[in-house]
Amino acid sequence: MPVTLKDIAKKVGKSVTTVSRALHGYDDVSPETSALVRKVADEMGYTPNIIAQRLQKQHTDTIGFILPTFGPRFSDPFFSEFLAGIGNKAAKLGYDLLVSTHPPGDDELKAYRRKVQSYLVDGFIIVRTRRKDPRIGYLCQTDFPFVAFGRTENSCDFPFVDEDGELGMRLIAHHLADLGHQRIAFIAAPDELMFAHYRLKGFKNGLSEKGVRLEEKMIVTGDLTQRDGVKQATMLFDLPNPPTAIAACNDLMALGAISAAQKRGLRVGKDIAITGFDNIPLAEHSHPSLTTIHQPIYQIGDMVCEMLIRRIKEESIEAEHTLLEPKLVIRETSGGKL
């Protein structure tokens, strides 16, 4: 049904080879033939069969991205922006994007292995790195190109982009301490997640640098959703001696904490300080607006994608390990001094 090189060849009375070479602008075909071939190809509406090209060329011009979903449902303003970042860059560089969703766990690696071994993708973008990350272990060991958004404790070397979450959370800790808070709580995320680990560490260090004690019971762990932010914050408010400030590991949970506080009749930014991390678009327009750490997620997607493609093409990468400096965005929720 569709028109192939063979059809064109028949029409112009030349070989498939010549047609192919004409279309690719080789100089061993005469200008007249070349022009004719192009004209006919155009008229017949020829488009190359990319699958056939891929089989021949042994690469796919496609990059893989497996979304680590937690639970069947999954909603995150964060990832859509990241996806836009890599998607736009990939399109610009002529790459396709093969996206899957897969919960972390047993057969997670199978999803990667299948795509690697079947030549479905030329490289991977990894997100939500974990302290011991089997995906990274696997890809390193098979020497398959990938770039990560985030670091890991695995011992192999690989290109990544990350924001310095430890420093980011120290900025938050200093900010809250400077405001005079003494009873400060932290809504952490599962320590297995590398970024959560860094952020908790940074927060602890930041507070101790300012001589503020962080009690164990003031550290709770949420699942990064707004819903859980509400729940964890509520538990903190129920403590006999509740905190005057809550730092959440991400904006979504912070937004939940705000909601929980307001439900209690607390004036956020006055009676209670709340901070987030990520600076998602919602943070600016919440009420009160959320003090947080900015993370340029679109650009990170853009950078990661470009790095990966350079690695695939075996071009040099200027900065293999990029650690972005976090910026504190002070808004209303951290509010007036006590």
Partner DNA sequence: ATTCTATTCCAAAACGTTTTGGGAGTCAAT
Partner DNA sequence: ATTGACTCCCAAAACGTTTTGGAATAGAAT
What residues line the site for a copy of itself (CB under 8 A)? 2, 45, 47-52, 54-55, 60, 62, 67, 69, 72-81, 83-84, 87-88, 90-91, 96-102, 111, 113-114, 117-120, 225-227, 229-230, 255-256, 258-259, 262-263, 280-282, 284-287, 289, 298
State yes or no: residue 58 binds DNA (CB under 7 A).
Answer: yes
Closest CB to DNA among residues 132, 313: 313
Contact between 152 and 194 under an 8 Å Cβ cutoff? The reply is yes
State yes or no: residue 72 binds DNA (CB under 7 A).
Answer: no
Question: What phi and psi values does residue 55 have, to the nearest 5 degrees?
Answer: -60, -40
Which of DNA, a copy of itself, none sits in contact with 227, Cβ below 5 to 8 A by type? a copy of itself
CB atoms within 10 A of CB 240: 5
Residue of 57, 92, 114, 287 interacting with DNA (CB under 7 A): 57
Which of DNA, a copy of itself, none sits in contact with 110, Cβ below 5 to 8 A by type? none
Contact between 303 and 322 under an 8 Å Cβ cutoff? The reply is yes
Closest CB to a copy of itself among residues 230, 246: 230
Cα distance between residue 285 and residue 291, in whole Å: 11
84 CB-near residues (< 8 Å, 6+ apart): 298, 301
State yes or no: residue 15 binds DNA (CB under 7 A).
Answer: yes
State yes or no: residue 55 binds DNA (CB under 7 A).
Answer: yes
Cα distance between residue 224 and residue 278, in whole Å: 12
Which of a copy of itself, DNA, none sits in contact with 80, Cβ below 5 to 8 A by type? a copy of itself
Which of DNA, a copy of itself, none sits in contact with 98, Cβ below 5 to 8 A by type? a copy of itself
Q: 203 exposed, middle or buried (CB, 10 Å; 0-12, 13-18, 19+)?
A: buried
What residues does 152 pair with on adjacent strands?
none
Ordered DSSP codes for 60-117: -SEEEEEE--SSS----HHHHHHHHHHHHHHHHTT-EEEEEE--SSTTHHHHHHHHHH
Site mask, DNA, residues 125-164, x = CB under 7 A? ----------------------------------------
Residue of 43, 53, 91, 153 interacting with DNA (CB under 7 A): 53
Q: Minimum distance from CB of 4 to DNA (Å)?
A: 3
CB atoms within 10 A of CB 185: 28
Closest CB to DNA among residues 53, 80: 53
Which of a copy of itself, DNA, none sits in contact with 43, Cβ below 5 to 8 A by type? none
Contact between 254 and 292 under an 8 Å Cβ cutoff? The reply is yes
State yes or no: residue 5 binds DNA (CB under 7 A).
Answer: yes
Which of a copy of itself, DNA, none sits in contact with 283, Cβ below 5 to 8 A by type? none
State yes or no: residue 71 binds DNA (CB under 7 A).
Answer: no
Distance between start and end Cα atoms, the chain: 75
State yes or no: residue 115 binds DNA (CB under 7 A).
Answer: no
Kindly list the distances between the CA atom of residue 155 and the CA atoms of 70, 80, 137, 199, 293, in Å, as whole numbers in the listed order. Answer: 26, 30, 9, 21, 29
Residues 25-44 that bind DNA (CB under 7 A): 28-31, 33
Which of a copy of itself, DNA, none sits in contact with 97, Cβ below 5 to 8 A by type? a copy of itself
Q: What is the DSSP letter of 278?
A: B
Structure tokens at 241: 């001696």
Contact residues toward DNA (CB under 7 A) are 2, 4-6, 13-18, 20-21, 23-24, 28-31, 33, 46, 48-49, 52-53, 55-58
